[in-house]
């Protein structure tokens, strides 16, 4: 090869001698990251139309150059092609740096199906674009159920929050496009504000080990990644339309991406989804309509050495809450529980009436990065989020149009992350974060504030490292410190302040006595230390083992501290406690992988011991003019959650495959020796797939799901006197519904339209046999059955 | 590059300045819809002692129990003209919720569950559809001495056309309970 170059060079020399071209350009090619030399790179000289190849020392030489400009295009396997221009006035030597890790950086682009991993030693599972396709008309919670060990906790059929190994809400951190979602995630009836159609990959990391995202993810982290930026000249788009039979709904979403060779890019995406009242097998679920819409715009410059990105997203969800779930007092709740059908059933409509939620979430993000030679990458991020939550209730005197809850949560976050990857033996990541959050509950509601006015300041710093040892083993370790400071202004009823004993414990918080109410200024500071330690062991050809320990601390959220009032759909009074401190989780986990001859087995085991676990539990009764209400109080006790997630798949041949996912979690309050409430029951899914590529990429999947009855639950039943019956009755709010079996199926085709376009068609049938069932993890299970059969048809055009 | 950095800094500072503005004391909210006080006044036709049943809960959903008072016994066999007044005493001056109920009379109905032997209730008012409301009613005390519960329930958005509802049968009424109190009364 070198001889060839030399010959070539000589020929060039000879040819150019006549023009007195005698200058020499000597180049050395090096890897940007570690200064290692790059051999066998192809160097093309545009000015002369000739090619050269670098030698084993990364060197190349172009001789016989004339005065003027020299244009080189350099390419190397797994490197970004680089164009350079040099002015030649004499002999010249240059060291040229190439980006050698481009493959790792743009994995998703390079091969559409590969997965960008978050960590190497944690229990993590990803859903790719293909798998997300059938969830175009669903919420993120529903899509995540695809992952073993992830369930949802629901309020009706449209509000679904992801639950990882039995933990949810504040214990599950959601990262969307690098932004930690701040959308009042403490409430069970607050669904995450994520537009699934803007995601190309979703990763779930079980446990708190992913410290770069936060130290308080006791349940886990959900990372939603948007489509990757392609820094070359491209234009592509995607449009998906579809419809569903249940609720007679439809959706459309579309995205367009434009990239330039210069590294500039812009992409925009929009979606809209609407359905009317959903239907259970035997009746209409009145007022369960939904209207959701949003868009994102993303633009910036993506160079190898530096770049920036500006991102904005707008998402609005108007969600109807089952009309029959609105109760005024315990008598109403008893009537609802005792009735087999919802107490309000009206004809189908697209109208969404109170009770309903209208939530708008906006994210603005600016990001700047710079790669430093022989060092790594520096990332600077700022994001601003605004969450407006309106909840409308059935109210008297024309007040139904005035929201009963009107919260505006604004969050500013600034963080700097550094990736140090210059060393061969190890990699380091560290960063700091500052956050300011302000909650403003609008007083125009005329209803006591659920969450008070507050300012919250967070500061965090972390360091994580990764190193290889032995033969292919990996060790990861991380440490994180977080400071949370909350400064609230809250009105308490004087009677409540005294009843809670706050007059004795927190007299310093009182600002002003206003007769029946007092204004208080609770201020709390929490210091949290989290750590994570994990290893990946390579146990020969077929086995791999992950071991991980993580310790995480979570400060109580505003609901746990300040709740103080009547919760209508649950007919209970919920009380927070200012005395609650942080909870600390110690989680041990192991994962065993086995892979041989088409068999793929993964077994996740975990024990999560949480001290001062914060939960809400009945503590007595209070009587009002509406009658007596059970009081549910936030408390903290030690708890243990332990369980397994088992995944088995077998590829029979190129057409047939089988998969089983089984998971179980055992949750116990170890102080009171009682089962924990709302733990997902044992469940198992069997999926048989048939693929025939010749039939336009035909793929059929039939799924059977079995969810057992939860036998372990705390008995929170209580007795209440019902005046209209003239007797005292037992109110059964504890007994979980019976086990159920569901069958689902989906068929996919993929048609080629032309060289650059393809069309995907999917038909999905959920709950094929229109099975009637209720779900223990649905907060509205007392009032109505779950959704019946739903047939979805969707069409996606990629161009 | 420099311009980008500058842009960033300007952006950051501006957003922080915008955010750190209001630190005002929040406005006090007096719950608008709470019924703190229900007074049922029963005046005997043709004279006699008025019987007043009252429940008063001045902290709304708060921990203090409502104070329930019954002024005295009913006289056996006497017919009483009943009326109901609802107040929200959290507001100053107290808001008369009776008016709200009267305005939305087609969405409200009182139900009376009266213990055996205490007597019977008949509605004496009606909404535009000809269905009863219960702000005015007639109570006929039982003929013999008796003791028991006199429960008053106000339902919001009941199905007033359901069978028996216009006769005061609560079982089919549906809707949500706005107030529900059982008074311990006696007939002498």
CA dist A158 to A154, A192, A223, A357, A419, Å? Answer: 8, 11, 21, 11, 39
Give the CA radius of gyration of chain B: 25
Whose tokens are 């799901």? That residue is A705
Task: Report which of residues A110 and B66 the model is more confident about.
Answer: B66
Nearest to B54 by CA among B37, B73, B35, B30: B37
Nearest to B29 among A306, A344, A491 (CB): A491
Could you give the dihedral angle defined by the CA atoms of residues A327, A329, A334 and A336, in that order, rounded to the nearest 10 degrees? -10
Name which of B15, B62, B134 to mutate to probe chain A: the one with the most chain A Cβ atoms within 10 A of its Cβ: B62
pLDDT at A303: 82
Could you tell me the residue range of the domain that residue B167 belongs to? 34-187
Overall domain count for chain B: 1
CB contact under 8 A, A496 and B63: yes
How is residue A414 written in tokens? 């600034």
pLDDT at A679: 96
Three-state SS at A747: strand
Helix (H) or strand (E) holding A438: strand A426-441
Residues A796 and A784: their CA atoms lie apart, in Å, by 34
pLDDT at A104: 37
CB contact under 8 A, B101 and A308: no
The interface residues of chain B toward chain A in range 139-178, judged by CB-CB distance below 8 A, are: 149, 151, 153, 155-157, 170-171, 174-178
Asked if residue B100 belongs to a domain, the reply is yes
For residue A22, name the pLDDT band (cuts at 50, 70, 90): confident
Least confident interval from A518-532, B25-39, B73-87: B25-39
Name which of B16, B63, B161 to mutate to probe chain A: the one with the most chain A Cβ atoms within 10 A of its Cβ: B63
Asked if residue B22 belongs to a domain, the reply is no
Phi, psi of A568 (to 5 degrees): -70, -45
pLDDT at B13: 52
Q: Which residue of A has its CA nearest to B104?
A: A397
**What residues of chain A lie within 8 A of the CB of B66, using their CB?**
623-625
Asked if residue B3 belongs to a domain, the reply is no
CA dist A374 to A25, A366, A423, A424, A432, Å? Answer: 25, 26, 8, 11, 22
Nearest to B176 among A328, A366, A453 (CB): A328
Contacts of A622 (CB under 8 A, 6+ apart): A573, A628, A629, A631, B61, B63, B65
Residues A35 and B66: their CA atoms lie apart, in Å, by 79
For residue A20, name the pLDDT band (cuts at 50, 70, 90): low
Whose tokens are 């998402």? That residue is A315
Asked if residue B13 belongs to a domain, the reply is no
**What residues of chain A lie within 8 A of the CB of B97, using their CB?**
396
Phi-psi region of B66 (alpha: psi -120 to 50; beta: other; left: phi over 0): beta
Does residue A661 register a pLDDT over 90?
yes
pLDDT, tens digit (0-9, with 9 covering 90-100), for B88-133: 998 888 899 999 999 999 999 999 999 989 999 999 999 999 999 9
For residue B141, name the pLDDT band (cuts at 50, 70, 90): very high
Asked if residue B7 belongs to a domain, the reply is no
Residues B164 and B152: their CA atoms lie apart, in Å, by 17
Q: Which residue of A has its CA nearest to B177?
A: A328
Whether residue B21 lies within 8 A of chain A, CB to CB, comes out as no
Asked if residue B12 belongs to a domain, the reply is no
Q: Is residue A41 within 8 Å of A74, Cβ to Cβ?
A: yes
CB contact under 8 A, A726 and B4: no
CA dihedral (A201, A205, A211, A215) positive or negative: positive
- Mean pLDDT (whole number) for B44-58: 94
The interface pTM score, or ipTM, of the predicted complex is 0.85
Phi, psi of B102 (to 5 degrees): -65, -40
- Mean pLDDT (whole number) for A464-473: 88
CB contact under 8 A, A368 and B4: yes
Does residue A13 register a pLDDT over 70?
no
In this structure, the number of other CB atoms found within 10 A of the CB of residue B138 comes to 15
Size of interface A-B (CB pairs under 8 A): 160
pLDDT, tens digit (0-9, with 9 covering 90-100), for A582-599: 999 999 999 999 998 889
Does residue A118 register a pLDDT over 80?
no
How is residue A365 written in tokens? 């993000």
Nearest to A488 by CA among A554, A443, A437, A528: A437
- Mean pLDDT (whole number) for A559-569: 84
Residues A270 and A251: their CA atoms lie apart, in Å, by 11
pLDDT at A569: 63
Residues B55 and B75: their CA atoms lie apart, in Å, by 22
For residue A396, name the pLDDT band (cuts at 50, 70, 90): confident
For residue B4, name the pLDDT band (cuts at 50, 70, 90): low
How is residue A188 written in tokens? 């069970």
Sheet containing strand A92-98, edge to edge, reads: A59-65, A23-31, A92-98
Nearest to A765 by CA among A142, A245, A248, A136: A245
Asked if residue B127 belongs to a domain, the reply is yes
Helix (H) or strand (E) holding B47: none
Nearest-CA distance from A437 to chain B in Å?
9
Does residue A57 register a pLDDT over 70?
yes
- What single string gives the DSSP state of each residue in A225-261? EEPPP--SSEEEEEEEEEEETTTTEEEEEEEEEEE-T
CB contact under 8 A, A414 and B12: yes
- Mean pLDDT (whole number) for A46-71: 82
**What residues of chain A lie within 8 A of the CB of B101, using their CB?**
396
Say which DSSP state A418 is in: E
How is residue A147 written in tokens? 């992952």
pLDDT, tens digit (0-9, with 9 covering 90-100), for A746-777: 999 999 888 888 999 999 999 999 999 999 99
Contacts of A451 (CB under 8 A, 6+ apart): A184, A407, A439, A441, A558, A559, A562
Any idea how long chain A is? 799
Say which DSSP state A35 is in: -
Q: Is residue A72 within 8 Å of A47, Cβ to Cβ?
A: no
Name which of B14, B26, B84 to mutate to probe chain A: the one with the most chain A Cβ atoms within 10 A of its Cβ: B26
What residues are paired with B141 via a beta bridge?
A: B119
pLDDT, tens digit (0-9, with 9 covering 90-100), for A261-311: 888 999 999 999 999 999 999 999 999 999 999 999 999 998 878 999 999
- Tell me the pLDDT of chain A averaged across its residues: 89
**What residues of chain B lie within 8 A of the CB of A456, using their CB?**
none
pLDDT, tens digit (0-9, with 9 covering 90-100), for A158-176: 899 999 999 999 999 999 9
Where do the domains of chain A lie, and which CATH numbers do they carry? 2-100 (2.60.40.10), 224-258+273-392+399-798 (2.40.170.20)
How is residue A399 written in tokens? 């007040």
CB contact under 8 A, B153 and A723: yes
Q: Is residue A558 within 8 Å of A596, Cβ to Cβ?
A: no
For residue A9, name the pLDDT band (cuts at 50, 70, 90): very low
Whose tokens are 């990736």? That residue is A419
CB contact under 8 A, A396 and B156: yes
Least confident interval from A444-448, A559-563, A686-690: A444-448
- Mean pLDDT (whole number) for A595-618: 93
Nearest to B31 among A410, A438, A448 (CB): A448
Residues B59 and B36: their CA atoms lie apart, in Å, by 8
| Helix, strand and coil percent figures for chain B, each rounded to 5 | 15, 40, 45
Nearest-CA distance from A326 to chain B in Å?
7
Beta strand spans in A718-757 (E):
718-722, 727-731, 740-752
pLDDT at B17: 46
Whose tokens are 């992950």? That residue is A546
pLDDT at A114: 43
How is residue A674 written in tokens? 């009682």
- Tell me the pLDDT of chain B averaged across its residues: 87
Residues B7 and A310: their CA atoms lie apart, in Å, by 11
Q: What angle do CA A550, A552, A557 make, to 5 degrees?
A: 155
pLDDT, tens digit (0-9, with 9 covering 90-100), for A185-224: 888 889 999 998 888 889 999 998 899 999 999 999 999 9
Does residue A230 register a pLDDT over 70?
no
Nearest to A724 among B58, B60, B113 (CB): B113
Say which DSSP state A681 is in: P
Three-state SS at A536: strand
Does residue A18 register a pLDDT over 80?
no
Q: Where are the alpha helices (DSSP H) in A219-347?
A: 330-338
CB contact under 8 A, B104 and A332: no
Does residue A557 register a pLDDT over 80?
yes
């Amino acid at each position: 090869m070198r001889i060839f170059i030399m010959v070539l060079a000589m020929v060039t020399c000879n040819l150019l001698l006549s023009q007195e071209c005698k200058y020499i350009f000597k180049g050395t090619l090096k890897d940007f990251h570690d200064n290692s030399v790059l051999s066998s790179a192809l160097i093309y000289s545009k000015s002369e139309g000739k090619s050269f190849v670098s030698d084993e020392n990364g060197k190349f030489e172009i001789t016989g150059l004339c005065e003027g400009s020299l244009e080189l295009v350099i390419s190397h396997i797994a490197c970004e092609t680089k164009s350079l221009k040099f002015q030649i006035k004499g002999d010249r030597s240059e060291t040229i740096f190439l980006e050698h890790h481009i493959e790792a950086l743009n994995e998703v682009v390079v091969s559409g199906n590969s997965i960008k991993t978050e960590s190497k030693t944690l229990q993590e599972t990803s859903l790719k674009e293909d798998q997300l396709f059938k969830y175009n008309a669903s919420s993120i919670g529903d899509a995540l159920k695809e992952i073993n060990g992830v369930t949802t906790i629901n309020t009706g059929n449209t509000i679904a929050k992801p639950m990882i190994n039995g933990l949810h809400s504040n214990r599950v951190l959601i990262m969307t496009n690098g932004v930690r979602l701040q959308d009042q995630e403490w409430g069970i009836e607050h669904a995450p504000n994520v537009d699934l159609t803007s995601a190309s990959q979703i990763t779930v990391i079980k446990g708190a080990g992913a410290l770069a995202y936060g130290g308080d993810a006791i349940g886990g982290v959900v990372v939603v990644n948007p489509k990757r930026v392609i820094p070359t000249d491209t234009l592509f788009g995607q449009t998906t339309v579809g419809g569903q039979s249940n609720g007679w709904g439809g959706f459309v979403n579309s995205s367009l991406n434009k990239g330039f060779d210069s590294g500039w890019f812009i992409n925009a995406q929009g979606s809209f989804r609407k359905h009317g009242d959903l239907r259970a097998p035997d009746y209409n679920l009145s007022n369960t309509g939904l209207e959701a819409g949003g868009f994102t715009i993303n633009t910036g410059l993506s160079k190898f050495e530096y770049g920036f990105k500006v991102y904005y997203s707008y998402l609005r969800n108007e969600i109807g809450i089952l009309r029959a779930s609105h109760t005024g007092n315990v008598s109403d709740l008893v009537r609802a529980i005792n009735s087999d059908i919802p107490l309000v059933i009206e004809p189908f409509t697209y109208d969404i009436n109170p009770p309903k939620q209208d939530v708008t979430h906006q994210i603005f993000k600016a990001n700047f990065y710079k790669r430093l030679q022989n060092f790594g990458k520096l990332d600077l991020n700022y994001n601003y989020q605004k969450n407006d939550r309106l909840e409308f209730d059935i109210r008297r005197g024309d007040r139904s149009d005035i929201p009963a809850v009107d919260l505006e949560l604004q969050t500013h976050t600034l963080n700097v992350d550094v990736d140090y990857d210059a060393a061969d033996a190890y990699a380091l990541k560290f960063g700091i974060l500052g956050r300011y959050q302000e909650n403003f509950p609008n007083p125009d509601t005329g209803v006591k504030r659920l969450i008070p006015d507050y300012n919250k300041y967070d500061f965090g710093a972390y360091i994580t490292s990764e190193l290889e040892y032995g033969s292919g083993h990996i060790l990861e370790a991380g440490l994180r410190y977080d400071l949370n400071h909350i400064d609230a202004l809250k009105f308490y009823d004087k009677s409540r302040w005294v009843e809670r004993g706050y007059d004795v414990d927190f007299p310093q918080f009182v600002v002003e006595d206003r007769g029946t109410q007092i204004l208080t200024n609770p201020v709390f500071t929490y210091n949290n230390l989290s750590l994570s330690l994990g290893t990946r062991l390579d146990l020969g050809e077929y086995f791999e083992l992950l071991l991980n320990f993580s310790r995480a601390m979570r400060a109580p959220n505003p609901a746990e501290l300040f709740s103080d009032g009547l919760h209508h759909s649950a007919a209970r009074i919920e009380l927070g406690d200012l005395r609650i401190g942080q909870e600390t989780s110690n989680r041990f986990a192991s994962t065993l992988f086995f892979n041989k001859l088409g068999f793929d087995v993964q077994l996740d085991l975990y024990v999560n011991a949480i001290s001062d676990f914060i939960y809400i539990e009945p503590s007595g009764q209070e009587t009002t003019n509406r009658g007596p209400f059970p009081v549910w109080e936030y408390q903290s006790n030690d708890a243990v959650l332990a369980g397994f997630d088992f995944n088995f798949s077998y590829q029979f041949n190129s057409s047939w495959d089988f998969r089983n996912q089984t998971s179980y979690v055992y949750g116990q309050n170890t102080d009171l020796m009682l089962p924990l409430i709302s733990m997902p029951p044992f469940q198992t899914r069997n999926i048989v797939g048939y693929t025939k590529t010749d039939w336009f990429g035909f793929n059929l999947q039939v799924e059977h799901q079995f969810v057992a009855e939860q036998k372990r639950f705390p008995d929170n039943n209580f007795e209440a006197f019902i005046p209209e019956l003239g007797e005292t009755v037992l109110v059964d709010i504890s007994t979980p519904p019976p086990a159920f079996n569901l069958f689902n199926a989906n068929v996919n085709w993929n048609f080629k339209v032309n060289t650059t376009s393809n069309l995907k068609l999917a038909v999905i049938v959920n709950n094929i046999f229109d099975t009637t069932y209720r779900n223990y993890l649905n907060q509205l299970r007392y009032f109505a059955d779950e959704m019946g059969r739903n047939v979805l048809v969707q069409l996606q055009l990629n161009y | 590059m420099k311009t980008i950095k500058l842009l960033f800094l300007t952006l950051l500072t501006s957003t922080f300045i915008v955010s750190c503005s209001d630190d005002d004391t929040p406005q006090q909210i007096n719950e608008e819809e709470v019924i703190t006080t229900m007074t049922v006044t029963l005046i005997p036709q043709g004279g006699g002692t008025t019987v007043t049943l009252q429940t008063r809960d001045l902290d709304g959903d708060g921990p203090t129990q409502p104070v329930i008072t019954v002024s005295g016994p009913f006289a056996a066999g006497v017919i009483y003209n009943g009326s109901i007044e609802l107040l929200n005493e959290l507001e100053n001056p107290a808001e008369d919720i009776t008016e709200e109920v009267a305005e939305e009379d087609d969405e409200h109905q009182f139900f009376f569950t009266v213990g055996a032997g205490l007597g019977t209730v008949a509605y004496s008012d009606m909404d535009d559809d000809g269905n009863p409301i219960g702000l005015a009613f007639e109570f006929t005390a039982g003929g013999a001495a008796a003791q028991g519960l006199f429960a008053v329930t106000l339902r919001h958005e009941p199905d007033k056309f359901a069978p028996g509802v216009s006769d005061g049968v609560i079982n089919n009424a549906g809707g949500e309970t706005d107030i529900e109190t059982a008074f311990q009364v006696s007939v002498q």
